[in-house]
């Protein structure tokens, strides 16, 4: 009998050596109390009582391990959600929600599911949906914002006209799309029904035609990404350091100080056996036919000062 009880106590000590920072939970404290009582009963020759205490110690040790695993799962899921949310916030900060609406919407939906699962303590699915967030955002790249405005320059130096301006890479990269510029700016023209007459110094708006994000006034020194292309800088690189830090936290949690049973004399007296556990669809493509002859915005209709012939 004495040997059996000793084996049970040894088994408890092995189970209690669980790597976690939650080692001092109520279950663990109760297990320690029962261990001390079992040892005392064993030393006193009260084998039946010692066996009873030893079994209770073993049961509480198992409950403690289960509780610790749950808490570690919660922490791991929390770190995963934190990484996913930071990635989502970063993508929005570079206007990924505008430039990649379908992927961003999918990531947002998955993030909501991840948070809901976490709140229900369904940490397995919380991690699953957080991973879906990261996967949805994996293909999103930063796009250098195109200018929203352009200040017209003289024909003599820059050959500015709706046709030529539309064809520039930072505008539409296609001269046939000039009518988008005309429609957005005709009320600012000297004669709004004459697209051939634009004046130097006029601040022309460049409307977004495919949902692209635009800001500021054209700066000749800026390195713009041509319209219709993407200067790809992986989003994941921008948050790589954050992801690695989160992984290190999980690893550190798993390698936290292991539980070492306290000597009987150091057992807390304030824990009793009655303690309870505390536990996008792009915009429609504009017409691409060349402008009518009477409204042509071609070079031959301009004089050197930028005025129409």
**Per the structure block, which two tokens stand in for 187?**
């009320």
Q: What was the pLDDT predicted at 229? A: 73
Tell me how far the alpha carbon of residue 239 is from its chain's centroid.
9
Tens-digit pLDDT profile for residues 286-301: 444 444 333 344 444 4
- Whether 68 is covered by a domain: the verdict is yes
Q: Are residues 161 and 126 in the same domain?
A: no
- Whether 146 is covered by a domain: the verdict is no
Q: Are residues 13 and 109 in the same domain?
A: yes
- Whether 124 is covered by a domain: the verdict is yes
Tens-digit pLDDT profile for residues 43-82: 888 888 888 888 988 998 888 888 888 899 999 999 999 9
Cβ 188 vs Cβ 195: under 8 Å = no
pLDDT at 167 > cutoff 70: yes
- Whether 271 is covered by a domain: the verdict is no
Q: Are residues 22 and 122 in the same domain?
A: yes
Say how far apart CA 178 and CA 286 lie, in whole Å.
10
- Whether 288 is covered by a domain: the verdict is no
Taking residues 102-118, what's their average pLDDT?
Answer: 95
Q: Are residues 62 and 184 in the same domain?
A: no
- Whether 309 is covered by a domain: the verdict is no
**Per DSSP, what are the bridge partners of residue 173?**
none
- Whether 66 is covered by a domain: the verdict is yes
Could you tell me the residue range of the domain that residue 125 belongs to?
A: 2-139+234-255
- Residue 253, Cβ density class (10 Å: 0-12 exposed, 13-18 middle, ≥19 buried): middle
- Secondary structure in 3-state letters for 137-162: HCCCECCCCECCEEECCCHHHHCCCH
Cβ 41 vs Cβ 56: under 8 Å = no
- Whether 96 is covered by a domain: the verdict is yes
Domain count, the chain: 2
Q: Are residues 216 and 119 in the same domain?
A: no
Tens-digit pLDDT profile for residues 41-50: 888 888 888 8
Q: Are residues 164 and 31 in the same domain?
A: no
Residues 6+ apart with CB under 8 A from 118: 74, 77, 78, 81, 126
Tens-digit pLDDT profile for residues 205-259: 999 998 788 989 999 988 888 887 754 444 444 445 555 655 566 555 555 534 3
Q: Are residues 59 and 121 in the same domain?
A: yes
C-alpha distances in angstroms, 209 versus 165, 191, 206, 282, 287? Answer: 15, 24, 9, 8, 11
Question: Mutual orientation of helices 47-93 and 2-16 as an angle, nearest 10°?
Answer: 10
Cβ 12 vs Cβ 27: under 8 Å = no
Q: Are residues 33 and 102 in the same domain?
A: yes
Say how far apart CA 86 and CA 111 lie, in whole Å.
11
Taking residues 195-208, what's their average pLDDT?
Answer: 93
Q: What was the pLDDT predicted at 219? A: 92
Say how far apart CA 182 and CA 206 lie, in whole Å.
10
Classify 19 as helix, strand or coil: coil
Q: Are residues 134 and 179 in the same domain?
A: no
């Amino acid at each position: 009998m004495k040997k059996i009880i000793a084996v049970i106590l040894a088994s408890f000590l092995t189970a209690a050596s669980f790597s976690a920072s939650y080692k001092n939970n109520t279950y663990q404290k109760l297990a320690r109390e029962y261990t001390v009582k079992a040892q005392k009963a064993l030393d006193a020759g009260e084998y039946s009582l010692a066996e009873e205490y030893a079994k209770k110690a073993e049961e509480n040790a198992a409950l403690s391990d289960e509780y610790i695993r749950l808490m570690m799962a919660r922490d791991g899921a929390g770190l995963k959600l934190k990484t996913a949310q930071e990635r989502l916030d970063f993508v929005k900060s570079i206007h990924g929600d505008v430039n990649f609406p379908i992927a961003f919407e999918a990531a947002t939906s998955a993030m909501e599911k991840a948070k809901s699962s976490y709140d229900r303590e369904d940490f397995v699915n919380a991690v699953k949906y957080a991973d879906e967030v990261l996967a949805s955002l994996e293909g999103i790249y930063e796009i250098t914002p195109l200018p929203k405005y352009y200040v017209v320059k003289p024909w003599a130096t820059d050959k500015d006209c709706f046709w030529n301006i539309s064809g520039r890479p930072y505008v539409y990269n296609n001269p046939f799309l000039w009518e988008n510029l005309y429609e957005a700016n005709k009320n600012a023209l000297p004669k709004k029904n004459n697209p051939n007459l634009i004046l130097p110094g006029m601040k022309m708006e460049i409307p977004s035609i495919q949902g692209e994000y635009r800001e500021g006034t054209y700066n000749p020194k800026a390195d713009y990404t041509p319209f219709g292309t993407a200067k790809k800088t992986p989003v994941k690189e921008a948050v790589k350091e954050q992801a690695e830090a989160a992984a290190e936290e999980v690893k550190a949690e798993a390698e936290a100080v292991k539980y070492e049973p306290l000597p009987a004399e150091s057992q807390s007296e304030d824990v009793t056996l009655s303690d309870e556990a505390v536990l996008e669809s792009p915009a429609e493509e504009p017409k691409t036919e060349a402008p009518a002859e009477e409204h042509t915005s071609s070079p031959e209709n301009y004089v050197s000062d930028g005025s129409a012939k």
